[in-house]
Amino acid sequence: MSTGYLSLEIKRALRAGKFLVFTVALPLLMFVFLASVEGDGDTGKLAGLMIGMTTWGTFAAALFAGARVAVERDAGWQRQLRLTPLSGGGYLTAKGIVGMVVALPAIILVPLVGAFGEGVRLDPGQWAQVTIGIWLAAIPFALLGLLLGQYGTADSMQSITGVLMMVLAMFGGLWVPLTALPAVFSGIAKVLPTYWMSQVGNTAIGSGENLLTCVLVLAAWTVVLGALVVRRYRLDSARN
């Protein structure tokens, strides 16, 4: 993989400021709002809200970054890149890394607001799990964005990713605690990777699933989505 190409891709992604509205501004505003309405000064509840909003912003950023591939496909950029020494694996790896890089603002800023604005108190190990753990859990979402980008068009991707982001957040238990919803929603949530991503953070504060279970489920999503991305890219390359 070319470091020059990777650097160019990261700069291009970070200059596209629209994604910051959905991946940083909205989660921050929602966190502050929910903390003022539902927090009640309860540290555990505030930490849970912070984890939910951090998860939302992080997975949405990774998803949107990967989905930008659809724009490049429509513009013929992928075909041009195939004429260069850059391999298909290098291209997909660079796109995945970009997705993880653009997820960093949410993983940094929401916890900072939680710590210094809302009074969330965690020990260093808990902070590491909430931040680094949730960030690493965004890997399957970067792959999901890549997969969608390989199928969608430039005109359709904004709508597709926007709706998918809301569905994954809503039914994954990021906006409303699953304990406040009918039992059927808990079953739906456990099918979605967003639930397990948020549980990576929730296990740090003594609630939710077993951490190893979260890791294994997200690893399975990563393997499956990674295989689908590679397969789709090869089929697309063969046609062009």
**Radius of gyration over every alpha carbon of the chain, rounded to an integer in angstroms:** 18
Q: Please, is 137 exposed, middle or buried when counting C-beta atoms within 10 Å of its C-beta (0-12, 13-18, 19+)?
A: buried
DSSP 176: S
Would you give per-residue pLDDT tens digits along the chain (240 residues)?
A: 567 767 776 777 667 666 667 778 889 999 989 888 876 777 888 999 999 999 999 999 888 877 777 777 766 666 666 666 667 777 788 888 888 988 999 999 999 999 998 889 999 999 999 999 999 999 999 999 999 988 877 778 888 888 999 999 999 988 888 877 788 888 999 999 999 999 999 999 987 789 999 999 999 999 999 999 989 888 876 665
Q: Please, is 23 exposed, middle or buried when counting C-beta atoms within 10 Å of its C-beta (0-12, 13-18, 19+)?
A: buried
Which distant-in-sequence residues (6+ apart) come within 8 Å of 134 by Cβ? 51, 54, 55, 58, 107, 197, 198, 200, 201
Q: What is the pLDDT of residues 201-227, one digit of tens each?
A: 999 998 778 999 999 999 999 999 999
Give the residue extent of every domain in the chain. 3-239
Q: How far is CA 155 from CA 94, 166, 235, in A?
A: 23, 19, 22
DSSP 118: S
Rounded Cα–Cα distance for residues 216 and 210 (Å) = 10
Left (φ > 0), alpha (ψ -120 to 50) or beta: where does 98 sit? Answer: alpha
Q: What is the pLDDT of residues 82-106, one digit of tens each?
A: 666 667 777 788 888 888 988 999 9
Rounded Cα–Cα distance for residues 162 and 22 (Å) = 9
